[in-house]
Structure 1
């Protein structure tokens, strides 16, 4: 059995989780973090938020080469535009899972782009404290992001004593938190930092040091950042770096506009007319909202009897395919919107899977 690159292996694991019900392109959107109603629906239905935005830099041309190679090696096949994992692919996944040690935290869906902001703030703070306390006031900041520099100026310790205390606290907090991680993950985080007479290592350098692909280095580094974010309340300095970042602002911008109208009591048809959008687009928005809100009034859209019927067939048939569920519900005439909405509402992370 041929060894796979880390990216190809992650794709293969995701393909197995999607139960042969989605297209190769749909999986690409999950792994790169495309924030659309369809992708949000997919990651909730199939409980694959862990894979969201795992490789935001994966170019579509490279992705096509990788998936073509997986098909050539007979790990996956394609049927009616749906990616199907073969027995050989399942065996590969079983072998990988048997030996691979996952990071304790990775949540691209929850932390998304804010993880990058948190990392930049922390890294710039470390660099500036290190340089300043060493008496060096002339250095190039590791990040030129204006918003990050503005945050640092706003939170910069004023006296030398405060700088020393902040550095002492941050050093000890990072050491204590990173001690809870795999040694490689802690190494990745610490060696990406820049300080006085110390330059953070590149991904290529880290890859060579750890004998690990750059893709896996990035993934595990990001996992360490997510871990620190999840436990930021255990450190006054890290809590400050994360305090104004919103981690549950997950709705797309166009869906937020629809939600504002819904909160004012507008019906779907009126919203579609005023916003000059197709009814199917507004339905997408409502499904997205239902997947996030635990107080969503699903009973206003789908009768309880129909909800139970949909959930029963989804569980019995082990599928989220709309056409299959619609046919299974016969002679009951259920529309696709009712099925999608029910699956979205009951597929929320705080509700458990359908």
Structure 2
């Protein structure tokens, strides 16, 4: 399983409707944030893949998908990869042994998950060193931004370090009890603290018999479990997650997040474009990014009601209609409106 994990993992993200090329997989796994890539994530429900393997090149994706084709685990349909019956059986066996989370929130948290993983280790180190009255240690995270963020977060808790330290380790123990022993041991093996140095990634891969890709996916899945913790039961862990998420621009590009805040203040597209010295179409792309990544509910303010209704009616009668045809049937229809309605219908009807 160590050798073929990546093939089975990619298969586990396919469903009967998946239609995707090797290049699209490469762009999705690399975390490309263009509206077209994000739309393909939504259309093919490849949320957990987004940004997960930025190091894989297009050539490597082509080699990977060729292997899937050669083993008849996927097939080609009009140039796009699709699941085969054999692939579906392999997927079922794999997910029984390695359940895979694949939800919209994983797209939203794509940047948050890896940073939270490192901040979890760093925060544990800070509390461990504090509890042993040791101020002379090498911080796990050397970035000044990370250190300042943690210092600010600690101050915002409004409690003494003694209380925070006790509660942090209490929450960690409770969290570990909700995990499988292998998962708890995996996290614990990375932790660093007073007179304790966590294992390196290579050491952990060897200890747990994981390939590099399996190791990356395991961390991703465990980080996502942290995102779903109950804030009442795990207030410190949840608070650290939420702070990290805000530091990651709520899952958006930095520019889109700025536009989002201005839109939520009631500013119009043209006004924001003038203020930020950007094109109106760029602000529309930011709206698409907000909708695709955060399920932003306010997009209807920025499309004409008659176009919204007409697009829904057209897609109801012809779900496969393309924009090129739609704009000949609906006067003055822009792509922005058409794509937003497509997204809404995909989420409503699958």
| TM value normalised by structure 2 | 0.77
Q: CA separation in 2, counterparts of 1:173 and 1:224?
A: 16
Aligned-partner SS, 1:172: helix
Greater Cα shift, 24-33 or 298-307? 298-307
Q: Deviation of residue 174 (structure 1)?
A: 0.9
What's 2:311 paired with? 306
Matched ranges for 1:70-89 at <5 A: 70-89=68-87
2:291 pairs with 1:295: no
- Cα distance in 2 for residues equivalent to 1:344 and 1:207: 39
Given the alignment of the two structures, is residue 347 of structure 1 paired with residue 342 of structure 2, yes or no? Answer: no
Counting matched residue pairs gives 333
Q: Tell me the C-alpha RMSD between the 2 structures.
A: 3.8
SS of residue in 1 equivalent to 2:193: coil
Residue 14 of structure 1 aligns with which residue? 13
1:178 aligns with 2:176: yes
The match for 2:191 is: 193
Distance 1:223 1:290, change over 3 A: closer
Larger mean Cα displacement after TM superposition, 121-130 or 284-293: 284-293
Gaps of 5+ in 1: 315-320
Aligned partner of residue 307 in structure 2, secondary structure: coil
The answer to whether the 8 A contact 1:178-1:186 is kept is: yes
Moved more, 87-96 or 103-112: 103-112
Alpha carbons 1:45, 1:353 under 8 Å: kept: no
Please report how far the alpha carbon of residue 217 of structure 1 lies from its aligned counterpart in structure 2 after TM superposition.
Answer: 2.6
Describe the shift of the 1:284–1:223 C-alpha distance in structure 2 as closer, same or farther (beyond 3 A).
same
Q: CA deviation at 1:38?
A: 1.2
1:144 Cα deviation after fit: 0.3
Q: Distance in 1 between matches of 2:202 and 2:328?
A: 60
- Structure 2: how far apart are the matches of 1:152 and 1:219? 26
CA contact (8 A) 1:8 1:70 kept: yes
**1:154–1:232 CA distance, 2 compared to 1 (3 A):** farther
Does structure 2 retain, via aligned residues, the 8 Å contact 1:255–1:289? Answer: yes
Which runs of 4 or more aligned residues in structure 1 lie more than 6 Å from their structure 2 counterparts after TM superposition? Answer: none
Equivalent of 2:95, from 94, 97, 101?
Answer: 97
Segment of structure 1 superposing worse, 201-210 or 77-86:
77-86
- SS in structure 2 opposite 1:83? strand
8 Å Cα contact 1:17-1:46 kept in structure 2: no
What is the alpha-carbon distance in structure 1 between the residues aligned to residue 270 and residue 149 of structure 2? 42
1:345 and 1:105 mapped to 2: Cα distance? Answer: 16
Any idea what the Cα deviations from partners look like across 1:208-257, whole Å, max 9, x if unmatched? 22233332232222222222233262334324423433278344455567
CA–CA distance in structure 1, aligned partners of residues 212 and 67 of structure 2: 19
Tell me the equivalent position of 1:117.
115
Aligned residue for 1:317?
A: none
Task: Tell me the TM-score normalized by structure 1.
Answer: 0.76
1:108 deviates by: 3.1
Cross-structure match for 1:249: 250
Residue 37 of structure 1: aligned partner? 35
Deviation string 1:68-104 (CA, Å, 9 cap, x unpaired) is: 3223323234454422333332332233234433469
Judge conservation of contact 1:104–1:181 (CA < 8 Å) in 2.
Answer: no
**Are the counterparts in 2 of residues 13 and 93 from structure 1 also a CA contact under 8 Å?**
yes
The CA distance in 1 between the partners of 2:111 and 2:312, in whole Å, is: 35
Q: 2 CA distance for matches of 1:310 and 1:41?
A: 17
Question: Counterpart of 2:227?
Answer: 229
SS of the equivalent of 1:249 reads helix
